[in-house]
Amino acid sequence: MAIKFFGGGSGIFTGLINSLVHTVMYTYYLLTAFDERWKQSVTFKRTITQMQIVSKNLKTVRYTIPTYTIHLKMKTF
């Protein structure tokens, strides 16, 4: 509900992208909880970190553009 209606539905982008990153991240935590050897997988950890950075940058671009556009529109009135 919050994702659908917050900000006219613009929260869907965050919801989808976070779900993707969190699914991979919590799968990692689940696996390490069962078997400590998963903690030695630098590839897994690096992938999670890369996904977080890409997701953060995508969200920055996604929300900066409309924020700036609205700011410009408001300045004309």
Ligand X SMILES: CC(C)(COP(=O)(O)OP(=O)(O)OC[C@H]1O[C@@H](n2cnc3c(N)ncnc32)[C@H](O)[C@@H]1OP(=O)(O)O)[C@@H](O)C(=O)NCCC(=O)NCCSC(=O)CC(=O)O
Write down the H helix ranges in the chain.
2-5, 11-34, 42-76
The least distance separating ligand X from the CB of residue 21, rounded to whole angstroms, comes to 7
Stretch that binds ligand X, among 2-10, 46-54, 67-75 (CB under 6 A): 46-54
- Choosing from 45, 51, 62, 63, the residue that interacts with ligand X (CB under 6 A) is 45
| Closest C-alpha among 3, 4, 6, 11 to residue 62 | 11
**Cα gap 27→54, rounded to integer Å:** 19
Residues that bind ligand X (CB under 6 A): 18, 25, 28, 32, 39, 42, 45-46, 48-49, 52
